[in-house]
Copies of this chain bind each other. A is one copy, B any other.
Amino acid sequence: MDQERPVKLSDISKALNLSVSTVSRALNDSHEIGEETKRIVQSYAARVNYRPNLIAQSLKEMNTRYIAIIVPEISNSFFAEIVNGVEFVANNQGYHVVIYQTHDSTEREINIIRDVARRKADGLLLSPSTNQTEVNEVMKSIGAKLPVVYFDRVPSDNYCHKVVCDNYQAAFDATTWLIKQGKRRIAHMAGPSGISISIERLAGYSAALLNAGISVDPNLIRYSNFLAREAWDNLRDLEEKYQPDAYFASSDRLSFYCYEAVQKLPEPRASEVKIVGFTNAPFAHLLRPKLSAIVQPAFDMGKIAAEMLLNTITKKNKDIEYGFIKLPAVLKNTE
């Protein structure tokens, strides 16, 4: 009973001696089709396993009922959880979610954004790579009403939708906790300078130090882009020259690099140096000695971002009101 190629409306219309438009309306349960005809068409369509061609539908209706999400890396648990939150909301509203990863390459990111626009995604969730200005450029040039919600790494202006966690507070709390553990020479392994999360986390870190009467030593602050190499160089240099007694790491990857670097040190330093870092890795709590974790409410961030996006997609001509949601992160695994 399975056909060689997908059956289309005209196949049904021929088989039933009806016009294509009647078949279409019957399947869409239009009121201007007789009940009897509807039954015939619908049951026949079910028998031959008719599925509307989404490409054709999209072309006609100018929407695709899918949203795209662009993240740096799906293997990063933080982003994976965000994706799950997005899927949760989107699927409930009949939208599919298409996932892209940039691997922190601005070039890839730009290509993906262009492609998303050309494929007419109904909306975009974006956590931009480093180069904010270039991304802005592209967002302008696609010349479409592509609704966007930024999350995690967000632009500084207020004319866009944003969902973030309270990076300042989280960094403040984490650093304060390290200070309470008696640490004074706290190094900060920061992400790329210039992006929102780096700025806010650095601010929280600095505030906590000053708050405790510790001066901020620029030598202990190291920016790493997303190459492992940079992080390792920074870590080696820090150990050689400054021997921090604690590390505050600004990302999943940096947390684990720190941890590994510290574990390789000779005792007793290896077990004395404390590390706290941003990570949503589900098994981080298994590490001994502990890696204290700043855990972001990633699933909720995804849910909220998706809700904001779908709202702006459906609320057509309503006047735009930009949202800015900030959620708290929690410090875990501090015994």
Q: Chain B residues near A119 (CB, 8 Å)?
A: 54-55
Task: Return the CB mask of A257-284 against B: 1 if under 8 Å, else 0.
Answer: 0011001000000000000000001110
Q: Chain B residues near A75 (CB, 8 Å)?
A: 74-75, 77, 80-81, 282
Are B59 and A143 in touch, CB under 8 angstroms?
no
Q: Counting chain B CB atoms within 10 Å of each CB, which of A2, A55, A99, A100 scores highest? A: A55
CA distance A218 to B325 in the complex (A): 53
In chain A, positions 23-51 with a C-beta closer than 8 Å to chain B are 49, 51
Residue of B nearest to A98 (CB): B98
The segment out of A4-12, A186-194, A311-319 that lies at the interface is A4-12
Are A99 and B98 in touch, CB under 8 angstroms?
yes
Partner of A142 from the list B51, B96, B259, B288 (CB cut-off 8 Å) is B51
The segment out of A110-118, A162-170, A171-179, A204-212 that lies at the interface is A110-118
CA distance A307 to B21 in the complex (A): 42
Residue of B nearest to A288 (CB): B288
Give the contact-size bracket for chain A.
Answer: 35 or more
Q: Chain B residues near A83 (CB, 8 Å)?
A: 74, 101
Q: Chain B residues near A115 (CB, 8 Å)?
A: 54, 96
Are A141 and B55 in touch, CB under 8 angstroms?
no
CA distance A59 to B53 in the complex (A): 9
Task: Return the CB mask of A78-113 against B: 1 if under 8 Å, else 0.
Answer: 001101100100000000101111010000000000
Q: Chain B residues near A118 (CB, 8 Å)?
A: 51-54
CA distance A53 to B144 in the complex (A): 12
With A55-B64, A75-B77, A256-B286 already in contact, the answer to whether A5 and B143 are too (CB < 8 A) is yes
Are A6 and B142 in touch, CB under 8 angstroms?
yes
Are A141 and B49 in touch, CB under 8 angstroms?
yes
Q: Does A14 contact B (CB under 8 A)?
A: no
CA distance A81 to B145 in the complex (A): 34
Q: Does A56 contact B (CB under 8 A)?
A: yes
CA distance A74 to B126 in the complex (A): 18
Given contacts A6-B143, A49-B141, A49-B143, 11 further A-B contacts (CB under 8 A): A2-B141, A6-B144, A51-B142, A54-B118, A74-B80, A96-B115, A99-B99, A263-B286, A286-B287, A287-B288, A288-B288
Interface residues, chain A, CB within 8 Å of chain B? 2-7, 49, 51-56, 58-59, 64, 73-75, 77, 80-81, 83-84, 87, 96, 98-101, 103, 114-115, 117-120, 140-145, 256, 259-260, 263, 281-283, 286-288
